Amino acid sequence: MHAGNTEGNDLPEKFILEAEHLIKEFKARGGEYFKAVNDITFQVPREKPTVISLVGESGSGKTTTGLMVLGLLKPTSGTVKYEGKDIFKMSKKEFWEFRKNVQAIFQDPYEVYNPFYKADRILKITIKKFKLASSESEAKKLMVEALKDVNLTPEEALDKYPHQLSGGQRQRLMIARALLTRPRLIVADEPVSMVDASLRADILNTMLHLKKEYNISYLFITHDLSIAEYFSDRIIVMYRGVNVENGDINEVLSNPLHPYVKTLIESIPIPDPKRRWTKKIRFKIEDLTKREDSSRGCIFYSRCPVATKICSTKQPELVKVGKDHFVACHLYSK
Amino acid sequence: MRRDKTTKTTIQNRIYAISSVFRGNISLLAGLCILIPIFFLGFVGPYIFPVKGIRLASYPSDLPPSPEHLLGTDTSGRDLFTVLLYSVRQSLLIGLIAGTVGTVIGVTLGFTAGYKGGIIDDIIRNVTDIFLIIPTWPLLVILSAYLKSLTIPALATLLAAFSWPGTARGMRSQVLSLKERGFIRLARISGESDLEIIFKEILPNMLSYIGVMFGLSMTGAMLAEVGLEIIGLGPAESNTLGLMIYWAIYYNALVKRMWWWIAPPVICLVAIFVGIQLLNAGLDRLYNPRLRR
Amino acid sequence: MTSKDLLKVNNLKVYYRSPAGKVKAVDGVSFTLGENEVLGIVGESGCGKSTLATAILKLTRPPCYIEDGEVIFDGKNLLDLEGEDLRRIRWKELSYIPQGSMNSLNPVMKIGDQIVDVMMAHTEISKEEAKEKAGKLLESVGLPSETINMYPHELSGGMKQRVIIAIATALEPKLIVADEFTTALDVLVQRKVIEFLEERRASIGASMINITHDIAVQAMLAHKLAVMYAGKIVELSDVYTIFEEPLHPYTKGLIMATPVLGEKKVIRGIPGNPPNLLNPPPGCRFYPRCTIAENKCKHKSPPLMKIEEGRYVACWKYGGE
């Protein structure tokens, strides 16, 4: 994965999806503009199914990035390309192909169902819209197969209203829907955050199994580093819209460099009392109500425990620090 | 609930299906029980009951109720029961026309504003706000007084013009809140077009809300009409409940203890309002699957 | 630890009345808590932990009601107290941080005023004294003194949560009951808030019941841990022992389901769903999802049994008739 420039020798068809210098600006309550997503670039390779995690806390811009990648939100600047073509400039037919191959799973298993209809309607609509079946019996067969893939029985999932299903069942049904079109990429936005711990692992394992079975890549959006480590091949850490560190998951997590990432790792509670926190963490947690102006200096400056003078005046660029490891911090700039 | 449907005939099945709609839904039942007779009275009544004496001086004045004149006669010599039948129909028509027109405009504009956002939203919102600020009642009075020959359709249109802003405002905020819901995002991912999203995803969730707004528009229009008639404005060429009340007051029906003149129109109006509210509550219960058993 | 139990809960049963019958949300829970001790109650959604919290503080409201049991706090059964007696204990000796409390700060009152309010309502203190104390209180949780004059909407989530901690510990209670007090916070903020709460708690020597579904947070904070499932406590022991050697299959399952950063372990979930608490099955409630279940488990529900001092488990595998 390259930090910035992707032009050069790479043929566009080498990637299923490319996000290039995505920027999204919003108007805050006070009237000023702020960048929720500030120059994010990454690619999903085509050669083998890959899981790329977009990790960040609230306000990091990870969900906004996901929405842009799905074509649900138009970027202020930058492009999202599917098979080399800009998705916001596609013809109707091309966009339909894009939708077919890039699907999504959302966070809230309660919200994604229209309470007016039965839950399995989400399956029926997808089948109809993407012309996946030519008869009702074929459609039913497809649905039952998809349910089997996510460990749901037709009896428990079909013909029910959303409020008659449990949270775990609703989440699984959502995954089944995403599988119907046999997509190349699934954007999963916090798919297990609202699910109980004992069900989480099974859903993640199911998703991993589907990755192998159907060659599906994932863009996995989460705030949970431990789950990201378990699930992904590569990681992109975002802070306030900026990509502060990215690379191969093992390289980054075994040797985190950015002060934010280091602090994040140190702050994760560990299910082992022997490893209790012994000293206080060096980190200022104040003033989240004011969004700092990122054009002047590093986005993490005001809370960084090791910030220096240059950090307040100049924004650091992503530099390569390992085989597949990039960080945006003046400590490592050449 | 017996599950052996095989022993029931299709007719029994049908009856069962229809009755299940009313299960536990007293509001729906009560609402319909009140409204159906009134609508019957207004629209079917004139063709069933012997219509007589709508012209002035058809009968002796101020007669009390009798088998011949179910509600007696008024001071102008008209059979009051006949008058009531026609009045109910006219009033209902005013309410239905004004309600329908107002709701259709309000829903369309409110929906568009909420869903499209941006400049379109700004324009529609400002227009709506202007209309909302205008004091409805004084304007109605002035217009009615000025336009001496105000026909019933014209009145209905005027009333519609004052009821749509409230609906538009309400619809807009409903759409705004629904637009961000997860199932809209999922619908777009699944390939649904904007139009499909509006009609298949958002609209069904708003049916009860639209029903309520329609009920409000309709009753509001009817009430406005009554108000105008009582103070002597509004069309006088057709019989409406409001006009009936007006004449009753004009000819001092209360002083003459002619309760059979003033009570029926008032009772009918109250019944219509209460019936519509009950119906709305019942429909809301029906449309919300979560409230169904 | 048993020398002077601050809190002793005996066979507490808290049910909900519903049109379909009684929902047995908390069905016979017993435990003790000493002074200056943190008891963690961990469990997933629907296990009854929040209901337990409200019952301990006698805050249950219909359709929820206390069917049976005692809550002995400092020698007195709280469930017997009413009105003024109860009010006197609340906040002064017993305080509560409910779920989502940071959103229940009065939006039109300044932070300082809210703290002063609480203090003046429960103690004989002058307004000036209270104001001074409020300032010091906020400092003790790491908030700048200017916070006194700010409104809740001007504060971040982490700041609001610390205000809640300040309010809950303003009168230096003996026991704090906290329900998911870090759930809505980001990781970094969560760590800081846990640090502040622990510091404040230790400085006033209060005991705490910390309720959360996150076993990692419990590992960082609790001294004793109680695992709840379907309305009952299935394992109770000191926190090091539980993680070192979990006994109950549900506890084992929970630990196995949680990934640990840095360890390349495979995580596994627990198949199945929790039972319907309307008509719970006669046997062990974990039976349908248990990998080591025997026939006995299907018919008889195991009580919470003492394995050794301070260590309890409700599972037939560890003995008992």
- The C-alpha atoms of residue B255 and residue B248 are separated, in whole angstroms, by 10
- What is the arithmetic mean of pLDDT over A309-318? 87
Residue B209 lies in a domain: yes
- Domain assignment present for B139: yes
Q: State which amino acid sits at residue A64.
A: T
Q: Among all chains, which residue has been given the structure tokens 């049904």?
A: A173
A26 CB within 8 Å of a chain B CB: no
The reply to whether A4 falls in a domain is no
Q: What is the pLDDT of residue A288?
A: 46
Q: Is residue B279 part of a domain?
A: yes
Residues in chain B within 8 Å Cβ distance of A111: 181-183
If you search the block for the tokens 């560990």, which residue do you land on? Answer: A270
Give the β-pairing of C224-229 and C38-42: parallel
pLDDT tens profile A13-35:
688 999 999 999 988 777 778 88
Query: What are the tens digits of pLDDT across the range A276-289?
Result: 887 777 776 655 44
Shortest Cα distance, chain C CAs vs residue A295, angstroms: 23
Of A226, A269, A281, Cβ closest to residue C220: A269
Residue B14 lies inside a defined structural domain of this protein: no
The CA distance from C255 to A197, in Å, is 9
Domain that holds residue B115: 26-287
Q: What is the pLDDT of residue B248?
A: 87
Q: Do B204 and A117 touch (CB under 8 A)?
A: yes
Contacts of C256 in chain A (CB under 8 A): 201
- Inter-chain residue contact A114 with B187, CB threshold 8 Å: yes
Chain A residue with Cα closest to B180: A111
Alpha-carbon distance of C172 to C202, in angstroms, equals: 11
The enclosing H or E element of C206 equals none
Amino acid in position B159: L
C271/chain A closest Cα distance in angstroms = 7
Contacts of C154 in chain A (CB under 8 A): 289
Domains of chain C plus CATH, in order, are: 5-318 (3.40.50.300)
What CATH number corresponds to the domain at position A306?
A: 3.40.50.300
With a cut of 80, say whether residue C219 has pLDDT above it.
yes
What number of C-beta contacts closer than 8 Å exist between A and B? 60
Task: Give the nearest chain A residue to B205 (CA atoms).
Answer: A116
Per CB-CB distance under 8 Å, the chain B contacts of A193 are: none
Low-confidence ranges of chain B (pLDDT < 70): 1-10, 16-18, 20-24, 53, 148-149, 287-293
Residue B133, class by beta-carbon neighbours within 10 Å (0-12 exposed, 13-18 middle, 19+ buried)?
exposed
Give the gap in angstroms from C-alpha B31 to the nearest C-alpha of chain A.
23
Report yes or no on A102 lying in a domain. Answer: yes
Q: Are strands A85-86 and A77-82 parallel, antiparallel or unpaired?
A: antiparallel
Residue, of B177 and C264, whose pLDDT is higher: B177
pLDDT in the model for residue A294: 52
- C245 pLDDT band, cuts 50/70/90, is very high
Q: Is residue B2 part of a domain?
A: no
- Predicted ipTM of the assembly: 0.83
For B208, name the nearest residue in chain A, comparing CA atoms only.
A116
Q: Check C213 against A197: CB less than 8 A apart.
A: yes
Domain membership of residue A2 (yes or no) is no
The range of the structural domain enclosing residue A40 comes to 12-332
pLDDT of residue A255: 93
CA dihedral A148, A150, A152, A153 (to 10 degrees): 0
What pLDDT does residue B39 have? Answer: 86
- Please name the residues in contact with A285: beta carbons below 8 A apart, sequence gap of 6 or more: A303, C156, C158, C159, C188, C189, C192
- Report chain C residues whose CB lies below 8 A from the CB of A202: 268-269, 271
The answer to whether C223 touches C240, Cβ cutoff 8 Å, is: no
Length of chain C: 321
User: Lowest-pLDDT range, A290-294, B256-260, C182-186?
Assistant: A290-294
Model confidence at A101, pLDDT cuts 50, 70, 90, reads very high
Contact assignment for A129 to B182 by CB distance below 8 Å: no
What are the pLDDT digits (tens) for C78-111?
Answer: 888 887 778 778 778 889 988 887 788 888 999 9
pLDDT at A3: 42
Q: How many domains does chain B have?
A: 1
Provide the pLDDT for residue C38: 95
Among chain B residues, the shortest Cα distance to A175 is held by B186
Q: What is the DSSP letter of C90?
A: B
What are C145-169's pLDDT values in tens digits?
788 888 988 888 888 888 998 888 8
Instruction: Provide the chain A residues 107-166 that lie in CB contact (below 8 A) with chain B.
Output: 107-108, 110-117, 122, 125-126, 129-130, 161, 163
At C161, is the secondary structure helix, strand, or coil? helix
Sole residue written with tokens 């239905």:
B96
- A147 part of a folded domain: yes
pLDDT of residue A6: 43
- What is the pLDDT at residue A290? 52
State the CATH number of the domain containing residue B170: 1.10.3720.10
Q: What CA–CA distance (Å, rounded) separates A319 from A298? A: 14
The answer to whether the Cβ–Cβ distance between C267 and A230 falls below 8 Å is yes
Q: Under a CB-based contact definition with an 8 Å cutoff, are residues C43 and C49 in contact?
A: yes
* Chain A hits for B117, Cβ within 8 Å: none
Per residue in B49-106, pLDDT tens?
777 767 777 777 778 887 777 778 888 878 888 888 888 888 898 899 999 999 999 9
Angle between helices B152-179 and B80-116 (to 10 degrees): 40
Position C294 pLDDT exceeds 90: no
Residue B70: its pLDDT value, please? 78
Q: Taking CB atoms and an 8 Å limit, are A57 and C260 in contact across chains?
A: no
Q: Which of C186, C239, C240 sits opposite A58 (nearest CB)?
A: C186
Q: What is the mean pLDDT of residues C247-274?
A: 88
Report the number of distinct structural domains present in chain A: 1
Smallest Cα–Cα separation from C302: which of C287, C315, C293? C315
The answer to whether B244 touches B3, Cβ cutoff 8 Å, is no
Closest-CA residue of chain B to A161: B289
- pLDDT score recorded for residue B197: 87
Q: Does C215 sit within 8 Å of A197, measured CB to CB?
A: yes
List, in sequence order, every beta strand (DSSP E) within chain C.
5-18, 21-34, 38-42, 64-73, 76-77, 94-97, 175-179, 207-212, 224-229, 232-238, 305-308, 311-313
Q: Which residues of B touch A114 (CB under 8 A)?
A: 183, 187, 201, 204-205
Model confidence at A303, in pLDDT bands (50, 70, 90)? confident
A201, A144 in Cβ contact below 8 A? no
Instruction: Measure CA A252 to chain center.
Output: 17
pLDDT of res. B4: 47
Return the H-helix or E-strand segment holding A103: strand A102-105
Q: How far is A103 from chain B (nearest CA, A)?
A: 7
| Contact between chains at A166 and C195 (C-beta distance less than 8 A) | no
Closest-CA distance of chain B to residue A183, Å: 12
User: Are A116 and B205 in contact (CB < 8 Å)?
Assistant: yes
In one-letter notation, the amino acid at residue C274 is P
C3: phi then psi, degrees, rounded to nearest 5: -55, -50
Q: Chain A closest CA to C242's CA: distance in Å?
A: 10
Given this model, what pLDDT does residue A289 score? 43
pLDDT in tens, C33-73: 999 999 999 998 888 899 999 998 888 888 899 989 999 88
Q: Mutation test of the interface with chain A: which of C147, C154, C185, C187, choosing the one with the most A Cβ atoms within 10 A?
A: C187
Give exposure, A82-94, as e/b (b: 16+ Cβ within 10 Å). bbebebeebeeee
Interface test with A, best of B189, B192, B290 (most A CBs within 10 A): B189
